[in-house]
Structure 1
Amino acid sequence: MERIITKVALFGLGKVGALVAVMLGEAGFTVVGYDTSPRTDLGFDVEPLDVRDGDGLRESLSGVDAVVSCLPFHLNIDVAEAAHDAKVHYFDLTEDVPTTNRVIELAAGNPAAAFAPQCGLAPGLIGIVGASIAKTFDEVRSIELKVGALPQNPTGLLGYAINWSPEGVVNEYLNDCEVVRSGHRQMVPAMTEKERVLIGGIEFEAALTSGGLGTMCATYEGSVRRLDYKTLRYPGHFDQMHFLFDELNLRDQREVVGRMMIDAKPPVDDDVVYVHAAVEGMKHGAPLRENFVRGYKPLTISGRAWRAISWTTAASVVGVVELVADGVLPQTGFIRQEDIGLDQLLSTRTGRHFAEQGHLA
């Protein structure tokens, strides 16, 4: 079957975007990149573009079949609206609820293309894993999802490194979290319901954080008693963040906290991404709790070592692009992450990395 997507416009060539471009190329797509300034070090065409230039943005989509946005969340709506107007397929990594709601609206009014936001780790991969496990149960009582992007060799009281967006970290710690409790959707404060977690003999703590579930609460409301997403950290981390936000009264100074954290805890190359999904319910007539636990470490791709957070995020979105291009996923309308099968993702050229990596001894 001939692919419906062959040429992809990629917006944003930062920590993840550059690897998304590499993986798209490895998967057989032609890539044209757009960033705020031209680059010549990536092996494909990169043009300068400010996505706030509506005319330039729409012109950039002429002649492509799809767009992948790796931009900060507040710029994605502009790209999604341009994709809608150009009738090209749209993919992004956003955790932002208003952005996703706008993408849903656009998808409803554009039967000519598929719209698949939230294609990162959380939301994204973790929802695919959790939903795929849940589909094998006769009756599901709870779905508990956790992800932690951490240094392998933590130092200090925070035990952390900012390998992702500092703004994104601060937002997930402060924005209220959507969960399902007793079968109903509700909003609860972030950094609450802390619990102890052991993975491969290493102790972690997990607490509720915002944005990781995407559309799952709406999907599973009324059919499960409990659904939540928590972030994994080394023990003591959340106490330190409560001190920072509450005792030092910095909840209303998010930009200040973001700058402080990136200065105090800069990125590390020896990172690890833990993915932990657990489903409880009835299977084959008996109660069961089924776990999916992985620890993904840095990986060499196309001759270059990439951080775990970079390749796991990039592989998630590129795998979904492959599934739409090959007709495995719908080619029109809104695509929820929980409607994507883990086996489908693992069958793609890019998604195979998740099958080959991450197994705990």
Structure 2
Amino acid sequence: MEKIALLGLGNVGALAGILLQEAGFHPTGFDKLPPRTKLPFDCIELDLTDKATVKNALKDFDAVLSALPYALNPLIADVAYEDGLHYFDLTEDVSVKARVQELSQTADILMAPQCGLAPGFIAIVASHLARKFETIRSIRMRVGALPQHPTGLLGYAFNWSPEGVVNEYLNDCEVIEEGEHKWVSPMEWLETLYVNGQKYEAFTTSGGLGTMCETYLGQVENLDYKSIRYPGHAQQMNFFFHELLMREHRKQAGDILTKAKPKVDDDVVIIHTSVEGIMEGRLHRQEFVRSYYPKLIAGKPRRAIAWTTAASVCSVIEMVANGILPDKGFLKQEEISLDYFLKTKCGSLYREERS
């Protein structure tokens, strides 16, 4: 697996191409528009909404990495399945994951959705902690992509896809509660947590668990995923979506929010994962708490959300190419070894920072 078709050349997609090239792969970028800055690999303008056009463009590649909006991923997954290309994406959308999982049942190639930060790396971390326990009482997964210097009542900046964020705030959330698989409302189960003395809140959001509920049902009493925000954010977003009825106008809601709270360069990605259960006959709690900041990569500063997401999927691609992971079927992120992940060239970017 050497020739990688990279679809979508936004901040994450472009950086993924750079990391793949540095790891020894041969990426080619595709997007409907040329990249904003010159990239060190070939880039081709292409209509990525037309299946026949995509099939023709990808016929000579070994694998495809989709960094496109989630709604385009079913088309790309179909092309990969039909033409025998290993498939990787970053989607948090539950229905897209289900479609890819369905295709994988009869696929002769690997189909690996949800390879980003959350879902993705967070499941790798959580399962790494869970393997240490004899029995598991709870798995708590918390992730926040935040401005380092928040302003206003929202205390937020839309450094990620507005469509993805809106879906996370409005779509129902999977959990395991008291041993039962359930769907609960987003922006609820509000809790307070601290990282290095800084106070945050966390609440339910959709998609971040990936396939964890499927994997751990029957093995854990309680399992959930929440997004981390500065205090007060959930109250403001509930007002925006529900009292002002913006939940009925998702596209407009995304446009309003990104205009009001545009991207910032000084961001931080916070991971707070904990597992509780019986270890060596005693009740114990293990934690993985990290804060990741912008990093200089290929001579340019990269936002924390961009490099953590890109490095995660590129590490998975490395492990597949090196034979560490399977090259056929459906890949669950929680099946990936954290130790192997951190030993890859791309995954090693995660090793340096610690709260």
Q: Tell me the TM-score normalized by structure 1.
A: 0.96
SS at match of 1:13: coil
User: Which whole-Å CA distance do the structure 2 matches of 1:213 and 1:158 have between them?
Assistant: 24
- Cα displacement (A) at 1:257: 1.4
Q: Tell me the TM-score normalized by structure 2.
A: 0.98
User: Which whole-Å CA distance do the structure 1 matches of 2:154 and 2:325 have between them?
Assistant: 41
SS at match of 2:220: coil
Give the 5 Å matches for 1:260-299: 260-299=256-295
User: Which whole-Å CA distance do the structure 2 matches of 1:322 and 1:42 have between them?
Assistant: 21
Counterpart of 1:84?
81
Q: Is 1:180 paired with 2:182?
A: no
User: Which whole-Å CA distance do the structure 1 matches of 2:188 and 2:265 have between them?
Assistant: 30
Q: Is 1:313 paired with 2:316?
A: no
Give the 5 Å matches for 1:87-106: 87-106=84-103
- Cα displacement (A) at 1:116: 0.6
Counterpart of 2:30?
34
User: Which whole-Å CA distance do the structure 1 matches of 2:48 and 2:162 have between them?
Assistant: 22
1:338 to 326, 334, 337: 334
SS at match of 1:230: strand
User: Which whole-Å CA distance do the structure 2 matches of 1:231 and 1:277 have between them?
Assistant: 11
Q: Is 1:190 paired with 2:190?
A: no
Q: Is 1:56 paired with 2:53?
A: yes
User: Which whole-Å CA distance do the structure 2 matches of 1:223 and 1:265 have between them?
Assistant: 41
Q: Is 1:232 paired with 2:228?
A: yes
Q: Is 1:163 paired with 2:159?
A: yes
SS at match of 2:287: strand
Counterpart of 2:44?
47
Counterpart of 1:141?
137
SS at match of 1:274: strand
CA offsets 1:168-204 (integer angstroms, 9 cap, x no match): 1111111110100111110000011100000011000
Give the 5 Å matches for 1:242-261: 242-261=238-257
User: Which whole-Å CA distance do the structure 1 matches of 2:33 and 2:309 have between them?
Assistant: 23
CA offsets 1:318-338 (integer angstroms, 9 cap, x no match): 000000000000011000001
SS at match of 1:204: strand
SS at match of 1:16: helix
SS at match of 2:315: helix
- Cα displacement (A) at 1:313: 0.2
Letter in 1 for 2:135: E
Counterpart of 1:118?
114
* Structure 2: gaps of 5 or more residues: none
Letter in 1 for 2:237: M
SS at match of 1:268: coil
CA offsets 1:220-273 (integer angstroms, 9 cap, x no match): 111100000000000000011111122222221111211111111110000000
SS at match of 2:11: coil
User: Which whole-Å CA distance do the structure 1 matches of 2:73 and 2:238 have between them?
Assistant: 30
SS at match of 2:319: helix
Letter in 2 for 1:215: T
Counterpart of 1:71?
68
CA RMSD of aligned residues (A): 1.0
Counterpart of 2:127?
131
- Cα displacement (A) at 1:26: 0.6
User: Which whole-Å CA distance do the structure 1 matches of 2:53 and 2:246 have between them?
Assistant: 39
CA offsets 1:281-324 (integer angstroms, 9 cap, x no match): 01111110110000000000010100000000000000000000
User: Which whole-Å CA distance do the structure 1 matches of 2:280 and 2:148 have between them?
Assistant: 39
User: Which whole-Å CA distance do the structure 2 matches of 1:6 and 1:245 have between them?
Assistant: 45
- Cα displacement (A) at 1:136: 1.2
- Cα displacement (A) at 1:36: 0.3
Q: Is 1:241 paired with 2:237?
A: yes
User: Which whole-Å CA distance do the structure 2 matches of 1:247 and 1:84 have between them?
Assistant: 43
Which 4+ residue blocks in structure 1 deviate beyond 4 angstroms?
A: none
Letter in 2 for 1:195: E
CA offsets 1:63-84 (integer angstroms, 9 cap, x no match): 2111100000000011111011
Letter in 1 for 2:139: I
- Cα displacement (A) at 1:38: 3.7
* Structure 1: gaps of 5 or more residues: none
Amino-acid identity (%): 52
User: Which whole-Å CA distance do the structure 2 matches of 1:141 and 1:211 have between them?
Assistant: 22
SS at match of 1:225: strand
- Cα displacement (A) at 1:85: 1.1
